[in-house]
Amino acid sequence: MFAPVYLDHNASTPLLDAVREAMLPWLGVRFGNASSRHEYGRAARRAIDDARAQVAAAVKAHPTEVVFTSGGSEANNLFIKGAAARMKPGVIAVSAIEHPCVREPARQLARGGWELAGIAADTQGRVLVDTLDPRAALVSVMAANNETGVLQDIPAFAAAAKRSGAWLHSDAVQALGKIELDFRALGVAAMTLSAHKIGGPQGAGALVLDKRVDIEPLIAGGGHERGLRSGTENIAAIVGFGVACEQAVAALGARREAMQAQRARIESCVAALGGVVFGAQAKRLPNTCYFALTGIDGETLVGKLDRAGFAVASGAACSSASPEPSRTLTAMGVEADLARGAVRVSVGAATTMQDVDDFCSALVRVADELRGLRAMAAA
């Protein structure tokens, strides 16, 4: 079977061997319900407790602050809707570069009486704390953008939120496993994490929630997860999430250094082709390069690279079907024609420098081909 070199790790990552091995018993011989009082149930509860401790340790939180969910989207919705349900309608402020699973629940609140305020970003994709509405009761700013990889100054937003008495939430799905995260030091009230971005299974995530924050559950029922997320736990996925967190933290330093070198190689190639790297002047995730080659459509380039044996993205995986320019790039003031050329390359733990060199060779070849066709069409 044809298998392109995978360079789309911000969309999802391959399951780590250690994660798979930890999950397998819970897909077969171990099958107890963690709410049961017999040994099968107690074993399941111990497995969940161990995973909760592993996830908490990855972000320097306390295990009791970890609420397991089905993924990042549910965790974001749980905080935004759950916190809002405990308040009188007021102002909710979200950054202009947020993922749809933050932006859309905020828009739902706006239809129900809340006022939605945007937080602007500069031309490098950095969210500007001085554009935060001081009236905001809820604030959400992602730790790292999923498209550009640009890192945000979360402590500065935490200080601003504290001054106005707001709860600050940060979607840290892309940051986990790529940079160090300290829940307490960041000063946030809540943080969202996801397993499948760090070599864990799809369908597992967590909301790390300060105990001082009172939220309404999205899913009511038997009172699982401190009453904040009812439903029989997906033990295999939760166990896999825990192991993935442990592995991600253990290998963080070496992996970050390797990814930075690979990103630098890709960006050198893009520069040689006269391309633009979005957010290049900002602090970014070590694995992410988001670029455009002038005059070349991003979707076309992605398709050509796929056929050449390299799997990359034309933007965020959640919105890849949209013909509109990236909302993130629009917020950065990038012109629509250039934004439509955007391509995201995101390397991962298993990416080698040879993979990157081969990709660069293919990029040069495909870009030359597309530019040649464009020149012929214009002649």
pLDDT at 375: 65
Question: Mean pLDDT, to the nearest integer, of 208-219?
Answer: 96
143-185 pLDDT tens trace: 999 999 999 999 999 999 999 999 999 999 999 999 999 999 9
The residues of the chain that CATH labels 3.90.1150.10 are 5-12+252-378
Q: Which residues contact 240 (CB under 8 A, 6 or more apart)?
A: 15, 19, 20, 22, 23, 195, 200, 201, 204
pLDDT at 41: 95
Into which CATH architecture does domain 17-250 fall?
3-Layer(aba) Sandwich (3.40)
- Say if residues 206 and 69 touch (Cβ distance below 8 Å): yes
H or E stretch at 239 = helix 235-250
- Say if residues 211 and 65 touch (Cβ distance below 8 Å): yes
Q: What is the pTM of this model?
A: 0.94
Q: Which residues contact 4 (CB under 8 A, 6 or more apart)?
A: 306, 309, 310, 311
From the list 97, 132, 60, 140, the residue with the least C-alpha distance to 282 is: 97
Return d(Cα 39, Cα 275) in angstroms, integer.
60
95-153 pLDDT tens trace: 999 999 999 999 999 999 999 999 999 999 999 999 999 999 999 999 999 999 999 99
Return d(Cα 133, Cα 110) in angstroms, integer.
15
Q: Which residues form the catalytic set?
A: 318
For the cut 80, the answer to whether the pLDDT of residue 271 exceeds it is yes
For the cut 60, the answer to whether the pLDDT of residue 252 exceeds it is yes
pLDDT at 139: 98
Return d(Cα 346, Cα 6) in angstroms, integer.
9
* CATH fold of 5-12+252-378: Aspartate Aminotransferase, domain 1 (3.90.1150)
Q: What is the mean pLDDT of the chain?
A: 95
Question: Mean pLDDT, to the nearest integer, of 220-235?
Answer: 94
Return d(Cα 103, Cα 150) in angstroms, integer.
18
**What residues does 344 pair with on adjacent strands?**
290, 313
The residues of the chain that CATH labels 3.40.640.10 are 17-250
299-346 pLDDT tens trace: 999 999 999 999 999 965 555 555 689 999 999 999 999 999 999 999
pLDDT at 239: 98
pLDDT at 3: 77
- Say if residues 356 and 266 touch (Cβ distance below 8 Å): yes
For the cut 70, the answer to whether the pLDDT of residue 376 exceeds it is no
Burial of 324 (0-12, 13-18, 19+ CB in 10 A): exposed
pLDDT at 304: 97
